[in-house]
Chains A and B, each alone.
Chain A
Amino acid sequence: MVFESLRDFIKPDQSRPAIEVERVTETFRLYHEKGVGLKERLYRLRRAGYTDFNALEDVTFTIEHGETVGIIGHNGSGKSTLLKTLARILPPDEGRVEINGRVATLLELGAGFHGDLTGRENIYLNGAILGFTRSQIAVRFDEIVEFAGIRPFLDTPVRNYSSGMYVRLGFAIAINVDPDILLVDEVLSVGDAKFQAKSLDAMRRIQEREKTVVLVSHDLGSIQDLCDRVLVMEQGRVVFDGPVREGVQLYQQLMESSGPDLEDPDQHERYGSGDVVIRKVGLLDAAGMGTRKVKPSAGITLRVKVVAQRDVKPFSVGARIQTGDGKPLYEVHTTWQGLGVGPLERGESAIVDIRLRAHVLAGYYAITPMITDSNGKRVYDALPRSVQFEVEPAPGGTGMVDFRAAVSVADGPAVNLDDTGREEDVPADPATPEAAKALHPSHATADPRDDLEGTAATSDIVADADEDWGGAPAPQHEDDTDVFRAIG
């Protein structure tokens, strides 16, 4: 009885809006990079320890029950911070956020999952985080598993899941707990096409039930498809709040006026002597457009605009690439490639492109652009992990490195399965090993040693990994050069 009456407290009060945000400011204290050596530490003592930076500034808006609102804006414009504020992860430093109803959030890949726990345990853990008891989750358990399509992996620790499986599971939980308000950040774009369609469908059903949805996305298509209204963010402020079409137009204008989506490095922590500083930095795709999301093995360019603060001899511009959790993957400097930048006189600038090919599989990665002297001894400027990007999953492979598999059956029968429909081909009984294998095509690959037994025969099926990437094979590296536009 008491339980029920307590539950009533958070039944949404329809007379009040679902979300009220009033004059919210969110301030981050950016500590200047500590570095590891004693020199860097002494250096840090000499400078001010931090600068304040407003990720959100005086943001005010209201969202009514049943509305679907999209939030768009540049990288670093405050979209994700805003969503975290709505999700109560970040309490506002100034102003007021009023949420009226039960909230489910889907902010980051694997947020709220514990890697060592199995899928089954994580469903209950996530349910508990959302405020549900074990029995309440048990009722929805099958629906969640069905929607996520992870039944064969229910008792596998989730750290072995692919990013697609993470997202499917997270999304399945978030929508099946029947929230009044659903907050979604980007993640939907990680799944394969079939899952995306399925999740769009699920979102529509949520809309039909008069639930409130707030969606952060770079994908203007799905914003236009789903939203009744958009907020356009620019430098922590809401610069537009209104109909989707006008909002998207404004956003596109903003994108064009600022050229490729180069980030303003002033918002990042940095270290270095400051002889030459990084003025702008950004990641461009093959078309020369700012990007944060790339296909596996696609060509990308790190473009760095540097400005000399005094006369300098030729120097080196480099980049260090790490996984999202900080594992170092790759480092390159122009001098290592035999190229010195400069000499520059005080006030002169240069634009340096570092072309890369991300031979990695789905995941989040961070780049540290840096300027050093020609022998790499002295750091002029470095912006740790300031450029972040995400590599999309390649269908038909999981792991860390893109080995670009191509499979064939050299001898023996084979069938051509639907490109993306691996789940659908799974037999109903998850206990069969074939079902588990079918989800991971790599497991189904014929062992080459089998060849020894049979006579040589041509294969029926030869699938090339390249062809699976939505019909857009990665551009050739050599061709990239002329595609990148100079920036003003």
Chain B
Amino acid sequence: MIQALRDKLVDLWHARELLRQFVGKELKVRYKNSALGFLWSLLTPAAMTVVFTVVFAFVFRINVDDFAAFFLAGYLAWSFFNNSVTGSIQAVTGNGNLIKKVYFPREVLPLSIVIGQLVHLVLALLVMLPYFVWVRGVGVLTHLPALAVGVIVLFVFTSGVSMLLAGANVSFRDLQELIVVVFLVWFYATPVIYPVALVERQIADGVGIAVLFGHIISLNPMTWFVKMFREALYGEVAPRLAADGNLVDTMQSWPSPELLTVTVTIAFGAFVVGYLAFHRFALTFAKEV
């Protein structure tokens, strides 16, 4: 068992150059032949931020300070997860020729997509950082290490989910269609456009359906990763109202030991399950892709 695991890790270590080349290819495709290059990858979060800010801060009036910053902090985490998983679900099925003809550790395929997205995420964070500092104060800078921890656990979690789905998609091709719907629902079940505090207030007000929704949110692993990003970049929103009717928000903070434990456990749990499942699926890749 230990021997087998060690062999697999040695295998993966030898494939690091291949991983590097695949990631390079991913990034090149994105940035080659376009004048604006990397700026394009910022266009989606920027557009989403504008749209959701208009809709939810002005039309539906979710009364949160700096809604754009509030939204963007969570959305960056979400879009990394979303792009990585939807990108890697076809990482194996789309490389049938390679799988059928040469050997290399198959997990290189989904992992290269996730790592490519990680590069986008880090670049996006760097570009957006001045904005957060401007809106939320220099406290953002002192909490960068907390953000780094958030990025790492989210990366580990996303890798696990990506491997699981990329592997499963080989025998169940319907997954790649299904995932589009799943992610649409999942997005709204994740507190990206609304604060958890809003749900908590509804529960306090005795709205029945909110209790169920509260359970769904807390069982949703992405809730915790979004929370981690948001705490470091924006702060948190408390479930009470200020004098002006707005929800009260706090300054940036370090992840609590509880949050840290939850995210690390989820992340590594997902990684182990995804990795093992992927290797199980990989036994028949060459026959089924």
- Name A residues whose Cβ lies closer than 8 Å to a Cβ of B: 6, 9-10, 28-29, 84, 87-91, 93, 103, 105, 107-108, 111-112, 124-125, 127-129, 131-134
Contacts and interface: CB of A to CB of B under 8 A. Distances in A.
Interface string B92-103: 000000111111
Contacts of B283: 91, 93
B58 interface: no
A198 B102 CA distance: 24
Contact of B102 (A28, A89, A134): A89
Given A6-B13, A131-B15, A124 B21 contact: yes
Interface in B6-22: 6-7, 10, 13-18, 20-21
Contacts of B17: 127-128, 131-134
B21 A87 contact: no
Which 4 interchain pairs have the tightest Cβ spacing?
Answer: A111-B101, A131-B14, A128-B18, A112-B102
Contact of B286 (A84, A112, A129): A84
Interface in B68-100: 98-100
A133 B18 CA distance: 8
Interface SS, B side: helix
Contacts of A29: 287
Contact of A87 (B10, B98, B103): B103
B286 A90 contact: yes
Contacts of B14: 10, 131
A108 B101 contact: yes
B287 A129 contact: no
A105 B286 contact: no
Interface in B249-289: 282-283, 286-287
B21 A125 contact: yes
11 contacts: A9-B7, A84-B286, A87-B103, A89-B100, A89-B103, A105-B103, A107-B101, A127-B17, A128-B18, A131-B17, A133-B17
A144 to B, nearest CB: 16
Contacts of A111: 101-102
Contacts of A132: 17
Contacts of B102: 87, 89, 105, 107, 111-112, 129
Contacts, number: 57
B104 interface: yes
B18 A129 contact: yes
Given A84-B286, A89-B286, A91-B283, A129 B104 contact: yes
Nearest to A103: B103
B103 A6 contact: no
A106 to B, nearest CB: 10
A108 B7 CA distance: 27
Contacts of A108: 101
A10 B13 CA distance: 12
Given A89-B100, A91-B282, A91-B283, 7 more contacts: A10-B14, A89-B102, A107-B101, A111-B102, A129-B18, A129-B103, A131-B104
Contacts of A88: 103
Contact of B101 (A9, A28, A89, A133): A89
B287 A28 contact: yes
B103 A128 contact: no
A93 B286 CA distance: 12
A128 B108 CA distance: 12
A6 B10 contact: yes
B108 to A, nearest CB: 10
B286 to A, nearest CB: 5
A428 B286 CA distance: 43
A112 B102 CA distance: 6
A93 B284 CA distance: 9
A19 to B, nearest CB: 14
B98 A128 contact: no
Contacts of B98: 112
Nearest to B99: A89
Contact of A10 (B10, B99, B286): B10
A112 B21 contact: no
Given A105-B102, A108-B101, A90 B10 contact: no
A11 to B, nearest CB: 12
Nearest to A107: B101
Contacts of B13: 6
A88 B101 CA distance: 10
